[in-house]
Amino acid sequence: MSFKSRKIKFSISDLSLFYGDKQALFGVDLDILEQEVTALIGPSGCGKSSFLRCLNRMNDKIDNIQIKGQIALDGMDIYDRSLDIVRLRARVGMVFQKPNPFPKSIFDNVAYGPRIHGMANNAKDLDAIVHKSLQRAGLWDEVKDRLDNPGTGLSGGQQQRLCIARAIAVNPEVILMDEPCSALDPIATAKVEKLIDELREKLTIVIVTHNLQQAARVSQKVAFFHMGKIVEAGDTAEIFTNPKDERTQDYLTGRYG
Amino acid sequence: MTEKSSQHPSNFLTSKQLHKRRKAEQRFKAYGISTIIIVISVLLLLLTGIIFKGYSAFTKTEIALEIFYDPKVFKESIPKAILKMRDTGSLIRRALQKEFPDIKDSDEIRKALQLISPNARISLIRKVVEDPRLIGTTRLTWVSASDNINLFIKKPQQRKLPAYQRQLDDQKIAWIDQLRERKKLRQRFNVQFFTNGDSREPEQAGILGALMGSFYTMLVTLLLAFPIGIGAAIYLQEFAGKSRLISLLELNISNLAAVPSIIFGLLGLAVFLNFMDFPRSSALVGGMTLSLMTMPIIILAARAAIQAVPSSIREAAEGLGASRVQLVFHHIVPLAMPGILTGTILGMARALGESAPLLMIGMVAFVVDIPHTPLDPTTVLPVQIFSWLRNPEQGFIENTAAAIMVLLLFLILMNLAAIVFRKRFDHKW
Ligand SMILES: Nc1ncnc2c1ncn2[C@@H]1O[C@H](COP(=O)(O)OP(=O)(O)O)[C@@H](O)[C@H]1O
Ligand SMILES: [Mg+2]
């Protein structure tokens, strides 16, 4: 573990979330540090996705949803009225469980974000952004000859890396990933994990995963969710080797999940 | 097998039960096949009936006459407008007398004139207008035969009927036989059926007027119903949110799609004609009325298509920071478009076949002229079929059947287009 203290990217305090009458999160506190991978683990239905989606306000539009508490990105409340949600989503990108490329060409998939955010002044700039993003996502060599082919024609693993390329094309500061590998085979999973590790150099990553080995492999910090609360959070190595909470111990030893 | 089934009586069906099950399956299959056979044979019966009645409308009989283009009738210098009023009947009469020298009295000549379509006179004038050099010459000219002759030629079995049941007496039949022997009788493709407007004479009546009327009506319907329908669907689906007012609106749109079409005709009559005073019998008003009927269909189809766009695509776009409008116009509408178009085509096909609401707004008027703008009085194909069917003349029956064939052709084409759209743009997510 390095002693270099990292900046806090996301600071979440006392976050509660209600779907109608049903409460899904109970006063969650968590700090997410820059240039680290933070893994959210815990049994299914414990509120990991709900929490993750708060970070770029993806669940704003759900009927009867109620969110209380503070989420600060670089010290700025993201639920502040003055905040532009379009800007927020450009800063905090998202990768979903099931690869969801647009039914458009590979090029257009990656170019879509830069286009709507006006990031390229001309076609050459756009080409460069697409090239760089695909390269960072480790997909360039596989698709460089068929950028005009539909993104939906790629294999599952390639599609997921295309979605990551699409997300990093707008130069986000944070990428949220909700079980990005659960629909992929082991080889594709290994590629995505490698990619996550590389992206950490420049980005902050928050990843929900069901796979404890994966959390151990890719993350520096782990937060263990249980029934809408964070039971334990800290350095990955620490939690996996020496969990303090009984529930964490039970989960890690596979007693439930 | 028997051993096993005795060991696990609850897990295995006895062969008797299996047999019963298979029987039930076969019975069900047989029901299905027999319904399909019934449906197809009814359809075939209908189609063959129409085709059998109507195909003859696509041909017509012509008679060749030695017409002397008398300079006394056509004065070269007179303008076309007056030329039209010249009576060329005398030319035909003279030609007939020459053809049948045995004609004695005026009764007989009148009978001979009945062989020729009344419109032949106008066609002679048209010939002269096209080529003034005809004047003063004698030419063998093909003119349309009258309706009765036309039918007689197409249905020769009439000849065997007793005289009082026939429309032609022995003399006329004799004349026809003579003409045929002299090779002065021929069957031609009835171009006029596709180039003429309506007429009181079945052999002159064509469907171009109704076709153009249908075309303009559909154009107006499409221009109104398509953008408004899609706009409403997008708004309701993507922007309206949920409130009691919106649910009430949605419910009413669904109800509107089920309202009998004649009600829309009444509405058109009251609002567009009586209140707004738009031109009666025009394609504009017809189109506006039909668009009221088509719009709910398009809205429902468009909403279903928009709903079918998977939420993963929405999330992908929203996650990248697309605004609501960008999400809708970059992703949802393009992806929903095949479904929207399919629904639109089906709605338009229904509008094309609609006659009841158009009767209400006066599109059943007898219009000879072919409409040139959506403001001209006109009729449409289904209403034309309806009007022709009400005519007592035999010749209109085949016209009716032929017009039905044309209408069916268009409907089939539109439905095919809808199927092609659906197949062609079937997305794989
Ligand atoms: N849109 C929603 N409406 C109502 N309840 C929901 C919704 N999304 C999730 N929930 C509920 O909230 C709880 C947490 O769900 P989720 O955050 O998806 O858990 P996880 O991702 O950890 O499996 C679950 O009980 C789930 O049923
Ligand atoms: Mg989840």
What ipTM describes this predicted complex? Answer: 0.89
* Separate counts of helices (H) and strands (E) for chain A: 10, 10
Distance between CA atoms of B152 and B168, rounded to whole angstroms? 8
In the predicted structure, residue A202 carries a pLDDT above the cut 50 = yes
Per-residue pLDDT, B429: 45
* Cβ–Cβ contact A113 with B under 8 A: yes
* Mean of the per-residue pLDDT values of chain B: 85
In the predicted structure, residue B84 carries a pLDDT above the cut 70 = no
Scan for tokens 């009835």, then name that residue.
Answer: B190
In the predicted structure, residue B182 carries a pLDDT above the cut 60 = yes
Interchain proximity B320–A93, CB inside 8 Å: yes
In the predicted structure, residue B9 carries a pLDDT above the cut 70 = no
In the predicted structure, residue B1 carries a pLDDT above the cut 50 = no
Percent of chain B with pLDDT over 90: 29
Query: With bands split at pLDDT 50, 70 and 90, how would you rate the model's confidence at A46?
Result: very high
What integer is the mean pLDDT of A53-69? Answer: 90
Compute how many other C-beta atoms are within 10 angstroms of the C-beta atom of residue A7: 10
What integer is the mean pLDDT of B98-126? Answer: 83
Distance between CA atoms of A253 and B363, rounded to whole angstroms? 81
C-beta of residue B293 within 8 angstroms of C-beta of residue B264: yes
Strand order in the sheet with B185-189: B138-144, B59-68, B185-189
Compute how many other C-beta atoms are within 10 angstroms of the C-beta atom of residue A118: 7
Q: Which tops the pLDDT comparison, B39 or B66?
A: B39
State in Å, rounded, how far the first CA of chain A is from the last one.
Answer: 29
C-beta of residue A204 within 8 angstroms of C-beta of residue A174: yes
What residues of chain A lie within 8 A of the CB of B320, using their CB? 89-90, 93, 112-113, 116, 166-167, 170
Longest CA–CA separation in chain B, Å: 112
pLDDT in tens, B345-363: 889 999 999 999 998 888 8
* Cβ–Cβ contact B319 with A under 8 A: yes
Q: Which residue of A has its CA nearest to B427?
A: A103
Q: What angle do CA A253, A254, A257 make, to 5 degrees?
A: 135
Distance between CA atoms of B294 and B217, rounded to whole angstroms? 12
pLDDT in tens, A117-153: 998 889 999 999 999 999 988 899 999 999 999 999 9
In the predicted structure, residue A216 carries a pLDDT above the cut 60 = yes
Interchain proximity A87–B321, CB inside 8 Å: yes
What residues of chain A lie within 8 A of the CB of B429, using their CB? 100, 103, 152
Question: Of B35-49, B82-96, B263-277, B372-386, where does mean pLDDT reach its minimum?
Answer: B82-96
What residues of chain A lie within 8 A of the CB of B322, using their CB? 86, 112, 116
CA distance B344 to chain A (A): 23
**In terms of Cα–Cα distance, which of B149, B180, B196, B156 is closest to B64?**
B180
What angle, rounded to 10 degrees, do the helices at B208-234 and B395-424 form? 30
Q: Which residue of B has its CA nearest to A89?
A: B321
Q: Which tops the pLDDT comparison, B12 or B125?
A: B125
Nearest CA to ligand 1 atom 3: A19
Say whether A71 sits in a helix, a strand or coil.
strand
Ligand 1 in contact with A24 (CB < 6 A)? yes
Residue extents of the structural domains in chain A: 3-252
* Pairing status of strand A174-178 against strand A92-95: parallel
What integer is the mean pLDDT of B121-141? Answer: 82
Per-residue pLDDT, B53: 79
Ligand 1 in contact with A49 (CB < 6 A)? yes
What residues of chain A lie within 8 A of the CB of B330, using their CB? 112, 116
In the predicted structure, residue A18 carries a pLDDT above the cut 80 = yes
Compute how many other C-beta atoms are within 10 angstroms of the C-beta atom of residue A44: 9
What integer is the mean pLDDT of B208-222? Answer: 92
Question: Of A35-39, A214-218, B71-75, where does mean pLDDT reach its minimum?
Answer: B71-75
C-beta of residue B95 within 8 angstroms of C-beta of residue B65: yes
Query: With bands split at pLDDT 50, 70 and 90, how would you rate the model's confidence at B214?
Result: very high
pLDDT in tens, B286-345: 999 999 999 999 999 999 999 999 999 999 999 999 999 999 999 999 999 988 998 998
What integer is the mean pLDDT of A24-29? Answer: 94
What integer is the mean pLDDT of A230-253? Answer: 89
Centroid of ligand 1 to alpha carbon of A184 (angstroms): 23
In the predicted structure, residue B252 carries a pLDDT above the cut 50 = yes
Q: Position B317: which residue type?
A: A
Say whether B100 sits in a helix, a strand or coil.
coil
What residues of chain B lie within 8 A of the CB of A165, using their CB? none
* Cβ–Cβ contact B313 with A under 8 A: yes
Say whether B233 sits in a helix, a strand or coil.
helix
Residues 116..135 of A with a Cβ closer than 8 Å to B: which?
116-117
**In terms of Cα–Cα distance, which of B370, B413, B362, B401 is closest to B213?**
B370
CA distance A154 to chain B (A): 12
Ligand 1 in contact with A46 (CB < 6 A)? yes
Query: HSE-up of A44 (CA within 13 Å, CB side)?
Result: 5
pLDDT in tens, A78-120: 988 888 888 899 999 999 999 999 999 999 999 999 999 998 8
Nearest CA to ligand 1 atom 5: A19
Question: What token pair was written down for A34?
Answer: 């820059």
- Candidate of A16, A18, A21, A22 to mutate for ligand 1, largest count of ligand atoms within 8 Å of Cβ: A22
Q: Which residue of B has its CA nearest to A165?
A: B320
CA distance B304 to chain A (A): 19
- Candidate of A49, A65, A66, A208 to mutate for ligand 1, largest count of ligand atoms within 8 Å of Cβ: A49
Distance between CA atoms of B270 and B360, rounded to whole angstroms? 10
Interchain proximity A112–B242, CB inside 8 Å: no
Per-residue pLDDT, B65: 87
In the predicted structure, residue B6 carries a pLDDT above the cut 60 = no
What residues of chain B lie within 8 A of the CB of A183, using their CB? none
What residues of chain A lie within 8 A of the CB of B318, using their CB? 58, 89
Per-residue pLDDT, B312: 92
Mutate to test the interface with B, among A64, A86, A130 (most CBs of B within 10 A): A86
Compute how many other C-beta atoms are within 10 angstroms of the C-beta atom of residue B6: 9
Per-residue pLDDT, A110: 95
Query: With bands split at pLDDT 50, 70 and 90, how would you rate the model's confidence at B4?
Result: very low
Per-residue pLDDT, B2: 46
Distance between CA atoms of B384 and B358, rounded to whole angstroms? 11
Among the partner-chain residues A58, A93, A98, the one whose CB lies closest to the CB of B312 is: A98
Question: What token pair was written down for B313?
Answer: 């695509």
Beta bridge partners, A11, equal A31, A72
What integer is the mean pLDDT of A177-185? Answer: 90
CA distance B229 to chain A (A): 25
State in Å, rounded, how far the first CA of chain B is from the last one.
Answer: 46
For domain A3-252, give the CATH superfamily.
Answer: P-loop containing nucleotide triphosphate hydrolases (3.40.50.300)
Query: With bands split at pLDDT 50, 70 and 90, how would you rate the model's confidence at B427?
Result: low
Which residues have CB under 8 Å from A121's CB, separation 6+? none
* Mean of the per-residue pLDDT values of chain A: 90
* Cβ–Cβ contact B335 with A under 8 A: yes
Question: What token pair was written down for B271?
Answer: 């609002």
Using a 10 angstrom Cβ sphere, with 0-12 exposed, 13-18 middle and 19 or more buried, the burial of residue B163 is exposed
Question: Of A13-22, A225-234, B197-206, B232-241, where does mean pLDDT reach its minimum?
Answer: B197-206
In the predicted structure, residue B5 carries a pLDDT above the cut 50 = no
The CATH number, out of the four listed (3.30.465.10, 3.30.43.10, 1.10.3720.10, 3.60.20.10), of the domain defined by the range B208-425? 1.10.3720.10
Residue extents of the structural domains in chain B: 2-55, 60-195, 208-425
Nearest CA to ligand 1 atom 12: A24
Residues 175..234 of A with a Cβ closer than 8 Å to B: which?
none
| Phi/psi of residue A67, nearest 5 degrees | -125, 130
